[in-house]
Structure 1
Amino acid sequence: MKTLKALAALCVLALFASLPALADGPVEFRFSAYYPESYPVFKEGFKRWEELVEKESNGKIVFKNYLNGVLHTAKHGFRAAMTDICDLTHAYPGYQPASFSLSHINDLPYALSSQHGGVLAMETLYPKYFKQEYEKMGVLLGCWVTTSEYNLITKKPVHKLEDLKGMKIRSFGGLCSTTLELLGAVPVMVQSSESYTAFQNGVVDAVLYPDSSMVSYRLYEVGKYHTRIALTRMGVPYAMSPQFFKKLSPEMKKFMYAKLRQASQMAAVAYDLDDIAARKTLKENGVEMIELAPEEMARFKKAVEPMWENFVKENEAKGLPARQLVTELRELDAKYSAMTPEQVFDLVTKNPLPGIVDF
C-alpha cells in the first residue's frame, strides 16, 4: 500500500517536473466509458490522470467525461472512437474476438505476472505484434490496460488442483471456459449481474472474478473461501480517435503521446489499490484467504499450458510469429514485473515507448 501511495506522489512530481510551453488550445478531450464516476479505475486512475494533464498543459487540454455508457455501450468502443463520437474509450479485443489474433495473448492463463509489468510488456510489444490488427479497427491505441487478476471465491476450500474437479464455476466464455475445463472444472456461462443469484442458488459452486468484483457483487455473503489462483488478466486497452490525434499540432501530439504512456501505469495502480481494499473487505466479512503452495501453483500453470501451444499453432498457421511473441512476452513480463511500480512509472516518464502511434 505504501509503495502504491508513493507512486501517486511520484506521478505529481514527474508531471510537474518539466512543463512544456504548449501553444495550442484549449483542446477538448472527450473520455467515454460504460462505468460510473465511482468506478476505481476511473476515480483513482483516469480521473487523477486527467487532472494532472490539465495542470501540466496549463489548461490547454480540457477533459469532458461521458460515463455510465451515455455515448455508447461497452461493446461499441471501437466504433465510437473510429467515428469520432469520443476521443478515448475502452475498446477490448475480447469484444471483437474474430478481428484479432496475436492480441489475444493477453488473455491467456498466466500471461502477465503484475499490473505494472504486464502493461509495460504489452505496450513494448505493441508496435511489433499488435499494432496492425488494432489499427485495422479504424482506431489508434491510447493506452494498454489490463484488469486485475482473476481469483476464485467458493463455498468449499480449494487448496489443490483436484479440488476443482467437477466444480461448477462461473465463466465469461471463450478462453476462460477452455481454461476452466483444463483445470478440471465445469464452466457455466453466467452474466455478471446474475452471479450472486447463481452462486446463492447453486447454479455455480464458485465464481471466477477479480477481488474487487467479489466485493462489488457481495459474493462474500455466499462464498467463504477465497483462493488466489491469479488465472488471468483480461486485456482492456483504450482506443483513441484518429480524428482527434490528427488535429493536434506536432508539439501537442508529442505531449499527449507521452502522457498516455503514463495513463497506462496510473490505471494499473488504480486496479491494484482497488484489489487491496477488496481483500481487506473480504477478510472483514469472514472469508478465508487461501494461498496456493508454490508447487501447487506450478501444477495449475502446467494444466493450462496446452492453451499456449494451441495459440502458437493457430497463429503460426496464419503466418504470424506467435512462438516468437510468446518468448518475448514472457521475458519482458518477468523483467518488468521484477521492478516496482515506481520504477516502471519513472521509466515510461523518462523514456516513453516509441512507435505506438505514428506522428
Structure 2
Amino acid sequence: MKVISRLATAGVFAVSTALTGAVAFAADYTLTISSWAPPTHGINAKMWPTFTKMVEDATDGRVTADLKLGIAPPPAQFDLVQDGAADLSIIFHGYQPGRFVTAKMIELPGYEGSAEAASVAYWRAYEKYLKQADEHRGVKLIALHTHGPAQLHTHEKVTQLDQINGLKLRVPGGVGSDVGAALGATGIQVPAPKVYETLASKAADGVVMPMESRKGFKLTEVAENVYEMPGGFYRGSFAFIMNEDAFKNLPEDIQQALEEKVFGEPLSRAIGQVWDEIDQEGRQATMDAGNNSINEASDADRAAYQPVADEVTASVIEEVSKTGVDAQAARDFIAETMKNYGK
C-alpha cells in the first residue's frame, strides 16, 4: 500500500479509525488527518467519516484516510499541514487573529438560514470575492463551512441582553470576539477543547458557541443555561485544508476525481449538513438534561441587539475592504444566497 502520510506515530497520542471498514484495507493511498476536537465530537464522529466516504466513493476506493487526534493544538493545525506533518486538517479561522480577515464575512450576525446554506454560500462567495485575498496560501483549500448560530451558554441564568455587560466570557476570536466586546463582556480566548475546564474552574462566566457544544463539549454539565438570540450572535468560520504536495503526489485521474466530486462546494455542503445535525443533537441533549434551560431573547432584546449587529457588520466590512475585497458585495451575496438556498 502506498501511504502519503509522513506522520510519525511514536510518542504521539492519537486515535486512528478505520472510517469506512474494509475499503481502507484495499486503498492505494492513505491520507493522514490531524484533528483537534474530542473523539466523540461531530467533527470526528461525523464530518471526517463523511469526507472519507466521499473520497473513497469518488476514487473507487483507491484513496482513504486515517484520523489522528491530539497531534497539536487547534491554532497549530495550519502550519502542521503546510509543513507536511499531516495531510489534512480542519482549522477555525478565529484562532489566529489577523491571519484570515476575509473569513469574518461569513461570521457576521444577521444571516438567516442553516449551516448547510451558510456553508454553500461561503464557498460561492469565496470563489466570487474572497479568493483574491489568498489567505490560505501555502495549503490547498478543499472546503469552507460554518457552525450554526452561536448562543450564550452560562452557569447563572441570563434572560436579558443587558445582563451580558460585565460578564467574563470565553470568545473564539473573529466576529465572536467583536460581538462580545460590543456587548460589554470581558473576553477570554481559549480553544474549544479547553472550554469545559474553563467553565468548571469558574475562570469564565460563560461561553458563546453553537448548540452542538451542549453535547460535543459537554456544556450541559457546566453551563446549564442558554440565552438564545434568534439567528445567533455570530457564526464561526472553518476550513478543511490539505498539504499541497500530498495532493500533487496523487495520480492525475485521482486529482481530477477529487476536484470534480469532493472538493469545494460538494464537501462544504456535506459538512454544513452535518453541523445542522449536531446542532439538533446539542439542543436535544439540553432538553434531556433535566436541569438545563433555553431562554429565548425577547422582542425588546432582539431590537436592542440590532444596532450592535449593525455596528459590528460595518466595522468588519471596513476591515475586509482593506484587503482589496468588495466586502459589501460579498456580504450581500452571502445573505441573498442563503435566503434563496433550496428554493
Q: TM-score, normalised by structure 1?
A: 0.75
**Which of 245, 262, 279 matches 1:259?**
262
Query: How far did 1:247 drift?
Result: 3.3
**Which runs of no fewer than 5 residues in structure 2 stay unpaired?**
1-26
RMSD of Structure 2 on Structure 1 (CA) = 2.9
- Measured in 2, the distance between the counterparts of 1:106 and 1:282 equals 27
**SS of the residue aligned with 2:141?**
strand
SS in 2 for 1:305: helix
Q: Say if 2:84 and 2:243, in contact at 8 Å, map to a contact too.
A: yes
SS at match of 2:145: coil
Determine if contact 2:81/2:87 at 8 Å carries over to the other structure: yes
Structure 2 CA distance for partners of 1:37 and 1:302, relative to 1, 3 Å = same
Q: Distance in 2 between matches of 1:264 and 1:57?
A: 18
Q: Which one has a larger percent helix, Structure 1 or Structure 2?
A: 1
SS in 2 for 1:145: strand
Matches for 1:76-95 after TM superposition, within 5 Å: 76-95=76-95
**1:171 and 1:203 mapped to 2: Cα distance?**
13
1:235 alignment partner in structure 2: 237
User: Can you list the C-alpha shifts for 1:207-250, whole angstroms capped at 9, x where unaligned?
Assistant: 22222323445443454421222212211101122223323444
Find 1:278's aligned residue among 279, 282, 285: 282
Cα distance between partner residues in 2 of 1:249 and 1:199: 48
Matches within 5 A, 1:301-320: 301-320=306-325
Give the aligned partner of residue 19 of structure 1.
none
Letter of the 1:267 partner, please give it.
I
Aligned to 2:37: 35
The answer to whether the Cα contact below 8 Å between 1:228 and 1:292 also exists between their aligned partners in 2 is: yes
**What is the CA distance between 1:199 and its match in structure 2?**
4.0
1:325 CA displacement = 1.7
Q: In 1, are the aligned partners of 2:132 and 2:325 still within 8 Å (CA)?
A: no
The 5 Å alignment of 1:108-257 reads 108-111=108-111, 113-134=113-134, 137-173=137-173, 175-189=175-189, 192=192, 195-196=195-196, 199=199, 203-229=203-229, 230-257=232-259
What are the within-5 Å matches in structure 2 for residues 12-23 of structure 1?
A: none
Larger mean Cα displacement after TM superposition, 234-243 or 271-280: 271-280
- Kindly state the Cα deviation for residue 87 of structure 1 after the two structures are TM-superposed: 2.7
Contact 2:161–2:297 (8 Å) recurs in 1: no
The number of equivalent residue pairs is 312
Q: Using a 3 Å threshold, how does the CA distance of structure 1 residues 331 and 156 change in structure 2: closer, same or farther? A: same
Judge conservation of contact 2:59–2:254 (CA < 8 Å) in 1. Answer: no
Distance in 2 (CA, whole Å) between partners of 1:33 and 1:276 is: 22
Change (3 A) 1:49 1:184: same
Is the CA contact (8 Å cut-off) linking 2:56 and 2:64 kept in structure 1? yes
TM-score (norm: length of structure 2): 0.78
What's the CA shift string for 1:153-174, capped at 9, x where partnerless?
2344444423333333332345
Contact 1:151–1:228, Cα closer than 8 Å, also in 2: yes
Match of 2:22 in 1: none
In the TM superposition, what whole-angstrom CA distance separates every residue of 1:4-35 from its partner, at most 9, and x where no partner exists?
Answer: xxxxxxxxxxxxxxxxxxxxx83333322123
Partner of 2:3: none
For 1:270 and 1:162, how far apart are their aligned partners in 2?
33
Deviation at 1:138, TM superposition (A): 0.9
Q: Note if contact 1:146-1:233 (Cα within 8 Å) is conserved in structure 2.
A: yes
Q: Distance in 2 between matches of 1:150 and 1:56?
A: 33
Q: Which consecutive residues of structure 1, in runs of 5 or more, have no partner in the other structure?
A: 1-24, 344-359
Provide the identity percentage: 21
CA deviation map 1:28-56 (0-9, x unaligned): 33322123543212222221331353245
SS at structure 2 position matched to 1:304: helix
Q: Separation in 2 of the partners of 1:294 and 1:66?
A: 45
Judged with a 3 Å threshold, the aligned counterparts in structure 2 of structure 1 residues 67 and 329 are, in CA distance, closer, same or farther, namely: same
Amino acid at match of 2:36: Y
Structure-2 change in CA distance of 1:85 and 1:132 (3 Å): farther
**Which deviates more, 199-208 or 284-293?**
199-208
